[in-house]
Structure 1
Amino acid sequence: MASQRLQTISLKVLIHKKRNEIVMAEADGDFVDILLSFFTMPMGTIVRLINKLPQVAIIGSLTTLYEAVENLEEQLFQIWECKSMLFHPRNPFENECRKLKLSIDDTEPIKYYICSDWNCSRRENGGLYTTFKNVSCKCGK
């Protein structure tokens, strides 16, 4: 079994007990980095992660829109990968977020794919790549 290392994040909170309010909070840089990383997450990822929770959580019309698109038939999309792109959007700060002590994003690490025809990939106008598997190249392969 792989050894798991516990990591701690420091957060000190001063609470006014009579008014039940937070008066002051002091956190280390790791906590602030994690908190701010939530702003880099695409909305589709946030809704997808919330839908995995055991309790039903609704984010207004976003949840309804997500479910409606999820129920669309794949032939309504230009290519079937388009549906996957909608439900698994890439975080532009994904590499930085992976370095944090806590990550709630379950997106697979990025992989790049090129045309299976090596000559096509090397052409002057070629060399295109995608992050989605099995997408057709402009050459048709």
Structure 2
Amino acid sequence: MDPRGSYMSARSDLKEAKEIKDTRVLPMQNKSTPQGTAQFKMVVIEPKSFDECPKLVDNLKAKKPVIINLEKVETDSARKIFDFLSGATYALNGNVQKVANNIFIFAPENVDVTANIDHKGIDFSGSPKNVWR
């Protein structure tokens, strides 16, 4: 047998193997959407009472931002809810941002919230003015 023939045969077999290997189907990622962002979830809620707070904190612990609307909650309950969620957010290295009157976003550390909202007349220093009103 001609050594050159066996070389050509082996080379042909190798070429076929490469062609077969190159025909496999690979999943493609959408370059405009980074991997993992499709599963990002956000919780939007109008809590009725303080009893809902532990469930909301569970969402923060699961790295889900929580937006709450405190408009329909009495002032004392709103204060308790706000304080509880603020403390939990702080403990989880997150941040709190006021969106509008009575509406806040509590974001875990994996969520960057940038706001360019002018909060005229709102005192966040703990004065008698209510932060959430």
Both proteins in one fold, TM over 0.5: no
Scaled by the length of structure 1, the TM-score of the pair is 0.24
Scaled by the length of structure 2, the TM-score of the pair is 0.25
Larger Rg computed on CA atoms: 2
Q: Write 1 or 2 for the structure with the bigger share of strand.
A: 2
